[in-house]
A and B are shown apart, each in its own frame.
Chain A
Amino acid sequence: MVERKISIMDSVRRASQSVIAGVDKKDIKHWVEIHIMGKAYKVPADLTIMQAIEYAGYRLIRSCGCRAGFCGACSTVYRKKGEYKLQTAMACQTRVEDGMFLVQIPFSPAEKPLYDIKKLEYEPSVFLKYFPEVARCLSCNTCTKSCPQDLQVMDYVQAALKGDFKAIAEDSFECIQCGLCALRCPAEIVQYHLAQFARRMYGKYGTLRDNNSEKRVREIEKGEFDKEFDRIMNLSADKLKNVYTEQQNTREVY
């Protein structure tokens, strides 16, 4: 047998299978039946959709990323048996349910305009210039209902029509760019690119410039931190680990 080098992604995948790692199949009491691209599988009921797909034997090379609900790569569309409603989810954040018919969406073919932010005017009209399809919004709210982050997507699209940069930036702040809104939109609007555009514009023109970062850059240039850097660079590996652990303990991490 050819020895295969274990990649980082393989290690990550194994680490994320903690719920079933080391458990004998006969000890797992609860099972559900799911359908992956039309084919039925019995999987342990406590898996996420992503874990279940891998449990069933698939190796995901697209449609998976951070496995922590942040990267937006694992968009899933599913329908449950006997329900008319087509549902959307992040595969790594949603537990399997009996009777799910699943398909992964590895990529959204979304139009993305090119613009030079330095040359744009901070005017409501820029929205319709780069995203003219926004005017086709019917206020059907399908985008909002498809958002795995529970954002008020329709509200921020409507805010674009009002030219309210701040509202879009704030309402879309937690967007993970999974693209499900754009795929479900009957008006074919690309909501998440619109939102990113608005956040960039708001960041550049709508908010106060932070003086502290410029001040810090000047401090770095003046060499105020050189001594400390030298000290850290010259530490032994063990001491460096201690410094790192201490620093981590003093910070709040998610």
Chain B
Amino acid sequence: MKIPYFPGCTLKTTAKNFEISALAVAKSMDIELVELPRWNCCGTVTSLTSDDLMRHLAPIRNLIRVEEMNDNGDMKDEYRLVALCSMCFNVLKRSDLRVKENPEELEKINNFMYLEKGYDGKVEVIHFLELLRDSGFDKIKNKVKVNLNGLKVAPYYGCLMLRPKEIGIDDPEDPTIQSGILNALGAESIDNPCKTRCCGSYQTVRDRYAVSELTYDIITRARKEGAELVTTSCPLCLFNLADRQKEVIEKHPEFKPMPVLYFTQLMALAFGLDETYCGFNQNYIDPRPLLREKDLLK
């Protein structure tokens, strides 16, 4: 199956391991994620302002590229666009929903495009997690070569793939989509009551210690529930939960670091893919000692 895919800037820079692992995992499942040609910034959170349509040009332009892929034959009637980064997913999907619900806004945007193709509203933005869920967790189970038996993982969701509920891919209060995958890999999915708590988002730029307190709560709670590592699908959550552990240790010297991974990294590991596809070397807290201890890695 060939399907258009939107990487976003973070996956090309500080979260390369997310992209490398996801593309490899998809390939093992016979899904070819085809990078959107000439994609631009998803629009990030700035596009969520309600009175500034100009900010929606970026996400809508990306959706136009999907239609163009179909128009020029690169895709055959495949109007779904897969996002990996939760932020990109949230922005693209909310913009899409907004212009579909407000045709006069779409008309304004299309008028602005001038001499370019406008957006016809054909695209459906989906998260990679949805694609995996819809192809069936059993299919994942069948691909497992290294059973992650004994590994205790607390999935973390944050907010961007769950809220607002119009675009959410799972129950916003009690999401389980990552657990389905982790269980299929043989790992033990640990339910963390803090799994949808705010990671602090961009406050991390303004006040790193405000964020590190959230990190402390989320990770400490995960450990209390028995988890050994945390997974996520959002590069910003991952940064806040992992890199901010440095500030946590400053304030709470007794705190022991816990690795935070992209769920696709564990999938790559369980599928028996080469370590280069797991991308552990780019993680803020190296998970390899733990994985070796568990005999999951040489």
Q: How close is B194's CB to chain A, nearest CB, in angstroms? A: 31
For the complex, count residues of B whose C-beta is within 8 A of A: 18
Q: Does B54 contact A (CB under 8 A)?
A: yes
Per-position 1/0 for A112-154, Cβ under 8 A of B: 0000000000001100000000000111110001000000101
Q: How close is A151's CB to chain B, nearest CB, in angstroms? A: 13
Q: Does B227 contact A (CB under 8 A)?
A: no
Residue of B9, B12, B13, B61 touching A139 (CB-CB under 8 A):
B61
Per-position 1/0 for B15-56, Cβ under 8 A of A: 000000000000000000000001111010000000000110
In chain A, positions 94-125 with a C-beta closer than 8 Å to chain B are 124-125
Residue of A nearest to B12 (CB): A162
Check A137–B54 contact: CB distance below 8 A.
no
**How many angstroms between the C-alpha atoms of A209 and B12 in the bound complex?**
26
In chain B, positions 258-295 with a C-beta closer than 8 Å to chain A are none
Contacts of A163 in B (CB 8 A): 9, 12-13
For the complex, count residues of A whose C-beta is within 8 A of B: 18
The answer to whether A138 and B57 touch (CB under 8 A), given A145-B114, A154-B40, A155-B38, is: yes
Q: Does B58 contact A (CB under 8 A)?
A: yes
Q: How close is A181's CB to chain B, nearest CB, in angstroms? A: 15
Check B38–A138 contact: CB distance below 8 A.
no
Q: How close is A140's CB to chain B, nearest CB, in angstroms? A: 5
Q: Does A203 contact B (CB under 8 A)?
A: no
Residue of A85, A141, A158 touching B116 (CB-CB under 8 A):
A141
Contacts of B1 in A (CB 8 A): none
Name B's A-contacting residues (CB within 8 A): 9, 12-13, 38-41, 43, 54-55, 57-58, 61, 112-116
The answer to whether A138 and B55 touch (CB under 8 A), given A162-B13, A163-B12, A164-B12, is: yes
**How many angstroms between the C-alpha atoms of A129 and B40 in the bound complex?**
20
**How many angstroms between the C-alpha atoms of A164 and B12 in the bound complex?**
9
Q: How close is A171's CB to chain B, nearest CB, in angstroms? A: 10
Q: How close is A88's CB to chain B, nearest CB, in angstroms? A: 14
**How many angstroms between the C-alpha atoms of A164 and B54 in the bound complex?**
25
Residue of B43, B57, B115 touching A145 (CB-CB under 8 A):
B115
Check A140–B54 contact: CB distance below 8 A.
yes
**How many angstroms between the C-alpha atoms of A97 and B205 in the bound complex?**
52
Contacts of A161 in B (CB 8 A): 9, 41
In chain A, positions 169-228 with a C-beta closer than 8 Å to chain B are 186
**How many angstroms between the C-alpha atoms of A85 and B114 in the bound complex?**
10
Q: How close is B261's CB to chain A, nearest CB, in angstroms? A: 22
Residue of B nearest to A161 (CB): B9
Residue of A nearest to B60 (CB): A139
Contacts of A155 in B (CB 8 A): 38, 40
Q: How close is B138's CB to chain A, nearest CB, in angstroms? A: 36
Check B13–A124 contact: CB distance below 8 A.
yes
Check B13–A140 contact: CB distance below 8 A.
no
Per-position 1/0 for A55-94, Cβ under 8 A of B: 0000000000000000000000000000001000000000
Which residue of B41, B43, B112 has the most chain A CB atoms within 10 A of its CB atom?
B41
Check B57–A139 contact: CB distance below 8 A.
yes
Contacts of B9 in A (CB 8 A): 161-163
Residue of B nearest to A139 (CB): B58
Q: A139-B58, A141-B61 are in contact. List 12 more A-B contacts (CB 8 A).
A: A124-B13, A137-B58, A138-B58, A139-B43, A139-B57, A140-B54, A141-B57, A141-B113, A145-B114, A152-B38, A161-B9, A162-B9
Contacts of B58 in A (CB 8 A): 137-139
Check B54–A138 contact: CB distance below 8 A.
yes
Contacts of B112 in A (CB 8 A): 140
Q: How close is A10's CB to chain B, nearest CB, in angstroms? A: 40
Q: How close is A158's CB to chain B, nearest CB, in angstroms? A: 4
**How many angstroms between the C-alpha atoms of A158 and B116 in the bound complex?**
18
Q: How close is B142's CB to chain A, nearest CB, in angstroms? A: 35
**How many angstroms between the C-alpha atoms of A124 and B41 in the bound complex?**
15
**How many angstroms between the C-alpha atoms of A186 and B40 in the bound complex?**
16
